[in-house]
């Protein structure tokens, strides 16, 4: 715009068109300047509104981040609690396993004892069998003795034997013999009864021991079954805790991811606030320059009018050429690279599930990047995702535009600097979220904003 104004002034001052022509040119120029001033004032108002919205959005985002962090603290507390429960449960499971191991040892010992008692009982059964055989033989012998005694007159036979003695000595001998026989029979009977009772007692004792051991074994097996059930319950509890832990860790991961996204969004809002602040400063500077130029033109018009009223004349040497235009070819803007359309690799369209709000030029690092039209640098610095970025504000045919040049390797202009169409503003690169060296170029009607709500297809404005 400044270039356009300078060219108009040169035409007026050098060639001249007379008082009426000067007034016409001055009126046109001042009207355009007044329109630019009005547009810049509107831009500043829009920027103030956007800054207010951004601040509200930023505060809301900070509140969400705070809520997210509180929830993370809560989830971490729950994770710690679950982790402690898991530690306690693992300890209880280990204790139960030790108790089950001890129980298994007891069962092994009881089984060995039962086996030993069973062996003793089997051995005793053999002894009982032998005793029973002897008892049966003895009983048979006693029965025979009794039958013989009975058939021979019972105890009278013993008397006959005694009184059949031929002498006293014989009597004594016979009496002693009878007593011996009777004592032997008595001993046989007593031994018979004693052995029979002994066998029964021993068998009853062993059977009792075996029954006690088997009962004890049953109790230990019940205890083992109870321990196994308790262990199973603990394993089930552990499984539930593991599942809860997995869910909480997944939730924590989601919260951390959300926090990262919120932090990134907050940073992008802060970046946009800074950009808006610089755009506002650039708009203010451009408005001041436009006011100064308007005042100069009005002063010049007044001087020319005074000169005309005093009879001064000037010759018309105008060539009739129109003021220099900022357009090149068929569009309002020129390509920001010398390669032009031949270097395009991606258009203004949906790409990878999201909308691509600009066009890409596939060029090597260090390629000079040019301003697509005359204007004022409204931002020069880094921006989330874009890497090194330059924004240039333009006023063309009564409309404000902003062009964006991203992923730059270097920047050669500063905020507030006026640039002409085709002027180098930096060098292409691969900074920010970029998959390879290229230039990302955007055109926006009005001021640039992070939502890209006023983006336009650059190809509609380029030759």
Which three-class secondary structure state does DSSP give residue 35? helix
Residues 253, 365 share a domain: no
Task: Please name which of 230, 254, 421 lies closest in space to residue 324, comparing C-alpha atoms.
Answer: 421
Integer Cα distance of 373 and 327 in angstroms: 7
Mean pLDDT, to the nearest integer, of 217-241?
A: 88
Residue 380, φ and ψ in degrees, nearest 5: -150, 110
**Domain end (from 296, 324, 352):** 324
Residues 249, 286 share a domain: yes
Task: Please name which of 374, 372, 376, 373 lies closest in space to residue 335, comparing C-alpha atoms.
Answer: 372
Residues 352, 239 share a domain: no
Task: Please name which of 221, 239, 231, 236 lies closest in space to residue 96, comparing C-alpha atoms.
Answer: 231
Mean model confidence pLDDT for the chain: 78
CATH of the domain at 122: 1.10.287
Residue 397 zone, left/alpha/beta (φ > 0; ψ -120 to 50; rest):
left
**Domain end (from 272, 289, 324):** 324
Integer Cα distance of 426 and 13 in angstroms: 36
Residues 333, 409 share a domain: yes
Q: Determine the pLDDT at residue 449.
A: 82
DSSP string across 225-251: HHHHHHHHHHHHHHHHHHHHHHHHHHH
- CB count in 10 Å sphere of residue 120: 14
Residues 262, 158 share a domain: yes
Q: Determine the pLDDT at residue 153.
A: 53
Mean pLDDT, to the nearest integer, of 85-89?
A: 89
Give the tokens for residue 424.
Answer: 């180098």
Long-range CB contacts (< 8 A, 24+ apart) of 215-219?
216/110, 217/107, 217/110, 217/111, 217/114
Task: Please name which of 439, 422, 458, 436 lies closest in space to residue 367, comparing C-alpha atoms.
Answer: 439
Q: Which residue has the tokens 């609690």?
A: 81
Give the chain's domain count. Answer: 2
Q: Which range has highest mean pLDDT (126-135, 154-163, 336-345)?
A: 336-345
Q: Determine the pLDDT at residue 314.
A: 37
Residues 391, 343 share a domain: yes
Residues 342, 320 share a domain: no
DSSP string across 53-93: HHHHHHHHHHHHHHHHHHHHHHHHHHHHHHHHHHHHHHHHH
- By 3-state DSSP, what share of the chain in percent is helix, strand and coil, each rounded to 5? 65, 15, 20
Task: Please name which of 421, 426, 330 lies closest in space to residue 375, comparing C-alpha atoms.
Answer: 421
The whole domain housing 343 covers: 326-463
Task: Please name which of 325, 409, 406 lies closest in space to residue 365, comparing C-alpha atoms.
Answer: 409
Residues 226, 88 share a domain: yes
Residues 280, 335 share a domain: no
351-399 pLDDT per residue, tens: 888 899 999 999 999 999 999 999 999 999 998 889 999 999 998 887 8
Q: Determine the pLDDT at residue 165.
A: 62
Is the distance from CB of 357 to CB of 348 less than 8 angstroms? yes
Is the distance from CB of 373 to CB of 421 less than 8 angstroms? yes
Integer Cα distance of 355 and 451 in angstroms: 11
Give the tokens for residue 450.
Answer: 């992070």
**Domain end (from 277, 303, 324):** 324
Which three-class secondary structure state does DSSP give residue 87? helix
CATH of the domain at 410: 2.70.70.10
Residues 172, 302 share a domain: yes
Is the distance from CB of 89 to CB of 230 less than 8 angstroms? no
Residues 147, 276 share a domain: yes
Task: Please name which of 392, 366, 398 lies closest in space to residue 380, comparing C-alpha atoms.
Answer: 392
Q: What percent of the chain has pLDDT over 70?
A: 79
Exposed/middle/buried for 80, CB within 10 Å: 0-12, 13-18, 19+?
exposed
Residues 200, 90 share a domain: yes
294-351 pLDDT per residue, tens: 777 777 777 777 776 655 443 333 333 333 333 343 478 999 999 999 999 999 999 8
């Amino acid at each position: 715009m400044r270039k356009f104004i300078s060219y108009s002034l040169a035409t007026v001052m050098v060639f001249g068109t007379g008082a009426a022509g000067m007034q016409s040119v001055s009126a046109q120029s001042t009207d355009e300047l007044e329109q630019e001033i009005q547009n810049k004032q509107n831009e500043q108002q829009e920027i103030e509104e956007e800054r207010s919205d951004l601040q509200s959005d930023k505060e809301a985002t900070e509140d969400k981040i705070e809520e997210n962090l509180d929830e993370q603290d809560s989830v971490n507390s729950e994770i710690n609690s679950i982790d402690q429960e898991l530690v306690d449960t693992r300890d209880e499971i280990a204790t139960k396993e030790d108790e089950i191991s001890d129980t298994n040892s007891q069962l092994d010992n009881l089984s060995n004892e039962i086996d030993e008692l069973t062996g003793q009982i089997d051995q005793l059964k053999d002894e009982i069998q032998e005793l029973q055989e002897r008892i049966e033989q003895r009983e048979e012998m006693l029965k025979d003795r009794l039958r013989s005694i009975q058939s021979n007159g019972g105890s009278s036979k013993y008397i006959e034997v005694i009184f059949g003695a031929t002498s006293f000595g014989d009597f004594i001998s016979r009496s002693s013999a009878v007593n011996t026989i009777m004592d032997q029979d008595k001993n046989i009977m007593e031994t018979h009864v004693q052995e029979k009772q002994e066998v029964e007692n021993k068998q009853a004792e062993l059977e009792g021991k075996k029954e006690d051991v088997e009962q004890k074994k049953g109790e230990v097996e019940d205890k083992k079954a109870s321990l196994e059930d308790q262990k199973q319950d603990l394993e089930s509890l552990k499984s539930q805790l593991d599942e809860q832990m997995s869910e909480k860790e997944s939730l924590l991961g989601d919260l951390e991811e959300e926090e990262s996204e919120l932090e990134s969004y907050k940073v992008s809002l802060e970046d946009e606030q800074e950009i808006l602040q610089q755009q506002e400063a650039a708009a203010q500077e451009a408005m001041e320059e436009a006011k100064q130029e308007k005042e100069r033109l009005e002063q010049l018009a007044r001087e020319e009018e005074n000169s005309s009223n005093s009879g001064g004349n000037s010759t018309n040497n105008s060539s009739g050429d129109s003021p220099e235009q900022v357009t090149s070819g068929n569009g309002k803007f020129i390509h920001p690279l010398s390669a032009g359309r031949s270097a395009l690799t991606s258009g203004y369209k949906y790409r990878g599930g999201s909308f691509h709000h600009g066009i890409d030029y596939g060029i090597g690092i260090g390629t000079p990047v040019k301003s697509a039209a005359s204007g004022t640098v409204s931002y020069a610095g880094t921006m989330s995702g874009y890497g090194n970025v330059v924004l240039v504000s333009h006023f063309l045919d009564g409309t404000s535009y902003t062009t964006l040049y991203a992923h730059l390797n270097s920047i050669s202009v500063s905020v507030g600097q006026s640039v002409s169409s085709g002027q180098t503003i930096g060098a292409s690169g691969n900074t920010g979220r970029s998959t390879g060296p290229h230039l990302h170029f955007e055109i926006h009607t009005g001021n640039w904003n992070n939502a890209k709500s006023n983006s336009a297809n650059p190809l509609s404005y380029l030759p």
